[in-house]
Structure 1
Amino acid sequence: MIQLYEGGAYLVHGSELVPEREAARVEQLTGKAPDKDEARKGTIAYSILQAHNTSGSMEHLKIKFDAMASHDITFVGIIQTAKASGMETFPLPYVLTNCHNSLCAVGGTINEDDHVFGLSAAKKYGGIFVPPHIAVIHQYMREKMAGCGKMIIGSDSHTRYGALGTMAVGEGGGELVKQLLRDTYDVAYPGVVAVYLTGKPSPAVGPHDIAIAIVGAVFKNGYVKNKVMEFVGPGVASMNTDYRNSVDVMTTETTCLSSVWRTDDDTKAYLTQHGRPQDYKELNPADVAYYDGVIYVDLSKIKPMIAMPMHPSNAFTIDELNANLADILHETEESINGRMSNPDLHYSLMDKVVDGKFHVQQGVIAGCAGGNYGNVMAVAHILKKASCGDGVFTLDVYPSSQPVYMDLVRKGAVADLLAAGAIFKTAFCGPCFGAGDTPANNAFSIRHTTRNFPNREGSKPGSGQFSAVALMDARSIAATAANGGVLTSAEGYMDDYTEQPYDYDNSSYASRVYQGFGQADDEAALVYGPNIKDWPDMEALADNILVKVCSKIMDPVTTTDELIPSGETSSYRSNPLGLAEFTLSRRDPEYVGRAKAVDAAERARIAGQCPASVDKELKDVFAKLKETFADADMAATEIGSMIYCVKPGDGSAREQAASCQRVLGGLANICREYATKRYRSNVINWGMLPFQMKDEPSFEVGDYIYIPNVKAALDGDMEDIKAYVVGEELQKISLYIADMTDSEKEIVKAGSLINFNRNRQKEN
């Protein structure tokens, strides 16, 4: 089904794969010995990166993007940051969608205030504003902005438009701020891995089945981590572009940097249908292209899949799950309960097996992955003249945009779904991150959405409420619905199906979307709601720092959802201090109190008071330090909090996973490795030190760690940074920091990207 190559490979004539160890075959096929360095330039990714690079060096890229996108739980903070940094206008097309905080009031605040702010910002700075329920962020970008050979950056981790020939990158808000300030996205040239597709999917297999199978094969081994996935091979042509889009968006779950697909006549037809024929051009690898790895996928062998809680890589075929219910469900139960921070809470799956069949309680098809035209039409086919039943099982369907909604109505699909008992809603991302359709306590939900991380469906373990999500393709969700909630593969339900062609209608966009790019009005006022707050001041890095361990998480991976929960907390995303109250709340509920106590000591120090007057431990800590470091001075040492995680940052691009730590006085993260580049970038852009350590951590929550001469360490090789755990004796530990650009070092020294940009303004 899926094979991972060991080592690199050459792709010859776009169809012949030659492992690097058999490079002599390349000469047999082409009559010319391969030049590996030259063949690296033959990938689609290389040509696109080269066209957008401003550094003059393809080893150290400085990228300027063609467009940007943010939604309504990120754009307020980004605009506030850019404004504080001196931005006067949007220098490139910036799309502000309102697909996350679309509900009127969640979490005690009025989300519409953020939408009003966004429209006022689009008018003032020259942006594109997409009102609530009109489109989810990525569908709008597919329909209106993506094109062959372009690059787009978005403040959402699922910013992926590779099926349209666009290399798109999901990053934290700081990286978008840099583009607004006419700076660059700086990254080392990434490895490029071919995803070689052959064969054709069976009618019962949908895009989520293919995506889950790929994620299951590559996530745990890091095969494509921070690399570009380039989809090539004859199997690409077996899928239409709408289908490809639904596969492509899930590449985020592999932890790759970006993705891109070869383009063809179907890509051209898609762009032409959406009124943009000029955005098409044929993209194919060169006659000889070298890839750093190959994921070989025989599409004809993919079966309907399920990703069990609590990660998209926990992949099984549905047949395999149903044949081994007791073992797989027991193992999943153990994994879930092993991560519970509430010892009184227990989640069960075995009780959902009745007469040997696994019963689920909810189905959801939504967003940029599930809500596309082709997926919903397939669901309507399966449920035509069927019924979801009158039991506990429910099915909710969300289209990805109003144009998709309109055509589903015209084709009769919506009527068929309603008649079957499904609930049809509007374009909204909520079910994907816990702001809509939260299942009942101890319930099990199957979803064609992007993620199934802990608590991402909206459950609240701190309040004794927990549910879980598995990912499945819309087709198998529909088959399950037709069987009243009994987990069912779509095999046998799609054999007679032929998809009606999609008819795109732009009228809803023409009527409601504000197109303001290039029309900035400096006299226009920003409209602030009472929950929209400026970023608090953040101090510059001192020469010597003392950090207190305020959380230590030894899970194999810590997601951004655990660092700062999604769901109802999203309504506080425009209020930095308000949101910070939720930091680690579902994983380590005591963290916020610990961090605040440390920050109070630092506030006292800044005010000229003795920090020990606030935190009595500090007197003993500095007494111990002075035994070794005679110049250890409480008044001159910056004091802050720190978290340790084995591997933090898998998941969302949300910068608040880092900024919430920072506004509570965070100075550093220490980890074995960072799960994603984007989380590490967020740590840096918020002025925190991105430490790593090779040894197992000997310190515990409550311990202090002294790091002298830290600014000098930043200017050194950063390979062995001496730090000292303060106890009855000082225990030396070795930290290191992976490569940072000169700008990143200066951002950390300045204390944040905001401070860094303000300093530049003063210098100019």
Structure 2
Amino acid sequence: MVQVLGSGAYLVNGVEIIPDDEQAGVALKAKTDREISKESARKGTIAYGILEEHNTSGNMGKLRIKFDKLTSHDITFVGIIQTARASGLTKFPIPYVLTNCHNSLCAVGGTINEDDHMFGLTCAKKYGGVYVPPHQAVIHQFAREMLAGGGKMILGSDSHTRYGALGTMAMGEGGPELVKQLLSQTYDINMPGIVGVYLTGEPKKGVGPQDVALAIIGEVFASGYVKNKVMEFVGPGVASLSADFRIGIDVMTTETTCLSSIWKTDETIKEFYEIHGRSEEYKELNPADVAYYDGMITIDLGTIEPMIAMPFHPSNTYTIAELNANLMDILNDVEKKAAVSLDGAVPYTLKDKVRNGRFMVDQGIIAGCAGGGFENICAAADIMKGSYIGSDEFTLSVYPASMPVYMELIKNGCAATLLETGAVLKTAFCGPCFGAGDTPANNAFSIRHSTRNFPNREGSKLQSGQIASVALMDARSIAATAANKGVLTPATEFDGTIGKYKYHFDANIYKNRVFDSQGVADPSVEIHFGPNIKDWPAMEALPENLVLQVVSEIHDPVTTTDELIPSGETSSYRSNPLGLAEFTLSRKDPAYVGLAKEIQKAEKERVQGGHPCQAFPYLKEVMGTIKEQFAEVNHTNTGFGSTIFAVKPGDGSAREQAASCQKVLGGWANIANEYATKRYRSNLINWGMLPFLIPEGELPFTNKDFLFFPGIRSAVEEKAEEITGYTVKNGSMKAFTVRLGDLTDEERQIILDGCLINYNRVK
């Protein structure tokens, strides 16, 4: 199905792979009749060309990227704009689109969600942006329809910002990275590795884009093969895929932990732009006649089978046939993994879903940026035509990704076909993807064509004794299961016809509802604020020394941003930094907030000119121990706060609040063996937190221990490769070593200043 090359590789004329081994030079010369250097061939990738066009540093090893466009949704844009306003924003310097697809239901917290929407509309008017009202489109579908362009780059404050299939290199990052673009600053990274994804063949009937995506994720996630790299899709198999099919694979590349993605483009993509009235945005993109890739994944599309990602991660993949053939063995394995993910907090089993030897599903969802596309829903309608989901437990909800898609489903009859089966059609909304819509019953099992299936992401609350779980599947197999009244069924067992429907895009829907300033700012507009929209609290610069208390210790193999700051009902509070911070780690470590607040009292007392030990008496003994070795240390040159340890934090969402909530509660650092994603590490840095790294093995501290980092400010200024810290315990100090990893000069200064807001104020 999917094979991973153990080395780099050259791609010749887009069709022949030559592994980077001892024979590579000879093979290349035989094919091209010339000497080819690896460095010159690196410049032959599509990704290199796009990055070069957007790099402002003059150094392709150290990129300083300026993006063409920005996009955010309604649980990120308030914080981003508030940060930018605090840093001197007067006008959006490039197109910035504010969509409203996460808090669309306005169901929690009274008026606060619609206040956020009105904030967005008035900011679009004041600063010269674009505002997409609730229920019109999910963020990424609108971007595909109206923003993407060949050879362009888009930055979004959502991790699934991926438009590579349309020839657009897009990246999902935490909000502060968008703030930098709004302030005409740059996105600074080392040149990423480029991994080729070489496609051949064509998918069999019943296999959809989610199946291909899950096969890739299952193969590469654990090894980190594409982590923080760009995936570049090439090969003759690309031509066999429709635009929607490519888009469906592309959006899921986020779950591999890659940095971005890009695809070769052709007449199919040209037609996509023509259909959407934007033919001028098409650009043919192909690798050069010789291109070098840092890795190569090969996929014979014809060998891909209907897939399922079992709880609780998109990489926990099996073919549906394999699961059905080995139910009890696989369910045992799922339960063992769940015990780690859930910390044994609640009993969890899926064996009660097995009835008469078949696996029974409680709910199906086809939704959002991954599942809500036109072709996915049309295929589901064809598979379900003439069937009924029945009147028992099983339910099916379908969310078209935009109103133009919804309109076309009405016109071509697919909407009526689905409604007749007992399915429910809903408006464009991202809720099922993050736990704000269609939350299943306790112990229920949901199959979803959406992006993630982390614990509690479907909306259940572990802290309330609730557990439900999600498996990821393609819309086609969800439809086959629905037609079979909830019996897990791969779509390859459907023996009818899956049609090819012509798509007609109706631009009038957006013309009539979307506010587009055309880049013209109106400074006279007053911003609409509500009682939940709060400014960021003041944050201090990094002091010369730090005393930190470890207030959470997490040993899961991977910690998601959902576990650091929950999604779902907390989304309504993302405009209120202090209010949202109360939910930090609430699903993973409910004691965290209280412990963090206790040590934070010491720092607040220090900043106000008082003595920290009066606010937090435990410090008296700690400071006494420290002074025995470091006599010059006192509360005027030492800051106090908290830190957490996690093995590999930050998988999943780009949400900056996973870091900012810790900062608001007095966090100065994270300590980890590895950071799961670049975007989480960037969020830590942009909120003035130290991204410490410590080698795997026995930790020199445990939860509630105090740590002392002397001269930490000087260490950051002087670019120290290793930093000595001390565990302060029982009247003694034990040294250990941490690293900060690569930091740009700007990132160092942001940490020194205390956060990005302070950095820009100083500038």
TM-score normalised by length of structure 2: 0.99
In 1: Cα distance, 2:599 partner to 2:273 partner: 54
Instruction: Say whether the 8 Å CA contact 2:432–2:438 is kept in structure 1.
Output: yes
Paired AA for residue 247 in structure 1: I
Q: What secondary structure does 1:634 align onto?
A: coil
Cross-structure match for 2:12 = 12
Could you say which residue in structure 2 is the equivalent of 1:280?
282
* 1:10-37 residue CA offsets vs partner (Å, 9 max, x unmatched): 0001100010113121111111122110
The aligned counterpart of 1:3 is 3
Identity score, percent: 61
Unaligned runs of 5+ in 2: none
Aligned-partner Cα distance in 2 for 1:750–1:349: 50
Q: Distance in 2 between matches of 1:135 and 1:497?
A: 26
In structure 1, distance between residues paired with 2:336 and 2:77: 39
Q: Name the residue aligned to 1:438.
A: 439
Deviation at 1:634, TM superposition (A): 2.8
Q: Quick check: 1:429 aligned with 2:462?
A: no
Specify the alignment match of 1:744 in structure 2.
747
Deviates more, 1:717-726 or 1:104-113: 104-113
> How far, CA to CA, are the matches of 2:431 and 2:245 in structure 1?
22
- Alpha-carbon contact 2:460-2:468 (below 8 Å) kept: yes
Structure 1 residue 718 displacement after superposition? 3.0
Corresponding residue of 1:176? 178
Q: Could you report, residue by residue, the CA deviation over 1:674-700 in whole angstroms, capped at 9, with x for unpaired residues?
A: 100000000000000111011432211
User: What corresponds to 1:105 in structure 2?
Assistant: 107
Instruction: State the distance in 2 between where 1:494 and 1:41 align.
Output: 47
Query: Which has the larger displacement, 370-379 or 323-332?
Result: 323-332
| CA distances 1:482-521 after superposition (whole Å, capped 9, x unpaired) | 1111111001326522211111111110100001132100
Aligned CA distance change for structure 1 residues 571 and 404 (closer, same or farther; 3 Å): same
Distance 1:286 1:569 in 2: 47
Bigger mean CA deviation after superposition, 407-416 or 603-612: 603-612
| Aligned twin of 1:493 | 494
Q: How big is the shift at 1:430?
A: 0.4
2:91 to 78, 89, 92: 89
Equivalent of residue 29 in structure 2, options 22, 27, 30: 27
Provide the residue aligned with 2:209 in structure 1.
Answer: 207
Q: Which residue type is aligned with residue 353 of structure 1?
A: V
From 306, 312, 315, give the equivalent of 2:314. Answer: 312
1:645-724 mapped onto 2 (5 Å cutoff): 645-696=646-697, 697-724=699-726
Q: Give a deviation string over 1:43-92, Cα, whole Å, max 9, x none.
A: 00000000000000000000000000000000000000000000100000
Deviates more, 1:161-170 or 1:726-735: 726-735
**Which residue does the alignment assign to 1:596?**
597
Q: Distance in 2 between matches of 1:537 and 1:635?
A: 18
Distance 1:108 1:613, change over 3 A: farther
Match of 1:346 in 2: 347
- 1:389-415 Cα offsets, whole Å, 9 max, x none, are 111010000000000000000011111
Q: TM-score, normalised by structure 1?
A: 0.98
Q: 1:109–1:571: 8 Å Cα contact kept in structure 2?
A: no
CA distance in structure 2 between the aligned counterparts of 1:610 and 1:758, rounded to whole angstroms: 28
Deviation at 1:628, TM superposition (A): 1.1
C-alpha distance in 2, partners of 1:35/1:612?
63
Tell me how far 1:612 sits from its aligned partner: 1.4
1:557-599 Cα distance to aligned partner (Å, 9 max, x none): 0000000000000000000000000000000000000001111
Structure 1 residue 630, shift from structure 2 partner = 1.1
What secondary structure is seen at the aligned counterpart in 2 of 1:462? helix
- Residue equivalent to 1:540: 541
1:194-593 map, 5 Å: 194-341=196-343, 343=345, 345-493=346-494, 496-593=497-594
In structure 1, how many angstroms separate the alpha carbons of the residues matched to 2:149 and 2:610? 58
Match of 1:730 among 730, 733, 737: 733
1:605 positional shift: 1.4
Q: Counterpart of 2:606?
A: 605
**Cα contact 1:82–1:180 (8 A) shared by 2:** yes
Tell me the CA shift for residue 539 of structure 1: 0.6
Deviation at 1:347, TM superposition (A): 1.5
Q: 1:161 aligns with which of 163, 172, 176?
A: 163
1:758 to 723, 737, 761: 761
| Paired position in structure 1 for 2:150 | 148
How far apart, in 1, do the equivalents of 2:517 and 2:642 lie? 42
Aligned residues: 759
Shifted more, 252-261 versus 601-610: the winner is: 601-610
| Residues 687 and 751, structure 2, Cα contact 8 Å, conserved in 1 | yes
Q: Is the 8 A contact 1:358 1:486 kept in 2?
A: yes
3-state SS of 1:542 partner: coil
Question: Would the aligned equivalents of 2:194 and 2:230 in 1 still touch at CA under 8 Å?
Answer: yes
Q: Partners of 1:132 and 1:34 in 2: how far apart?
A: 53
Within the alignment, does 1:632 sit opposite 2:621 as a pair?
no
Instruction: Give deviations 1:201-250, integer Å, cap 9, x for gaps.
Output: 00110000000000000000000000000000000011111111111000
Q: Distance in 1 between matches of 2:257 and 2:615?
A: 42
Q: 1:538 to 1:119 in 2, by over 3 A?
A: same
Counterpart pick for 2:117 among 112, 115, 118: 115
Provide the rounded CA distance (Å) in 2 between the counterparts of 1:423 and 1:643. 43
Residue type of the alignment partner of 1:756:
Y
Gaps spanning 5+ residues in structure 1: where? none
> What is the match of residue 68 of structure 1?
70
8 Å CA contact retained: 1:228, 1:257: yes
> Residue 451 of structure 2 aligns to which amino acid in structure 1?
T
Amino acid at match of 2:28: V
CA distance in 2, matches of 1:277, 1:575: 42
Query: How far has the Cα of 1:108 moved from its partner?
Result: 5.3
Q: Deviation of residue 109 (structure 1)?
A: 5.4
Tell me the secondary structure at the aligned position of residue 491 of structure 2: coil
- Give 1:607 deviation, angstroms: 1.6
Amino acid at match of 2:404: P
Counterpart-to-counterpart distance in 2, 1:330 and 1:683: 37
* Residue aligned with 2:120, SS: helix
Give the whole-Å Cα distance in 1 for the aligned partners of 2:111 and 2:604.
Answer: 29
Cα offset, 1:342, TM superposition: 6.4
Q: Which amino acid aligns with 2:61?
A: E
Spell out, residue by residue over 1:314-338, the C-alpha distance to the aligned partner (whole angstroms, 9 max, x if none).
0100000001100111111122133
CA contact (8 A) 2:681 2:691 kept: yes
SS of the equivalent of 2:662 reads: helix
Q: Is the 8 A contact 2:162 2:261 kept in 1?
A: yes
Q: Distance in 1 between matches of 2:259 and 2:78?
A: 25
Q: CA RMSD in A?
A: 0.9
Alpha-carbon separation, structure 1, partners of 2:190 and 2:756: 20
Q: Is the 8 A contact 2:383 2:496 kept in 1?
A: no
Query: What is the distance in 1 between the residues matched to 2:62 and 2:90?
Result: 29
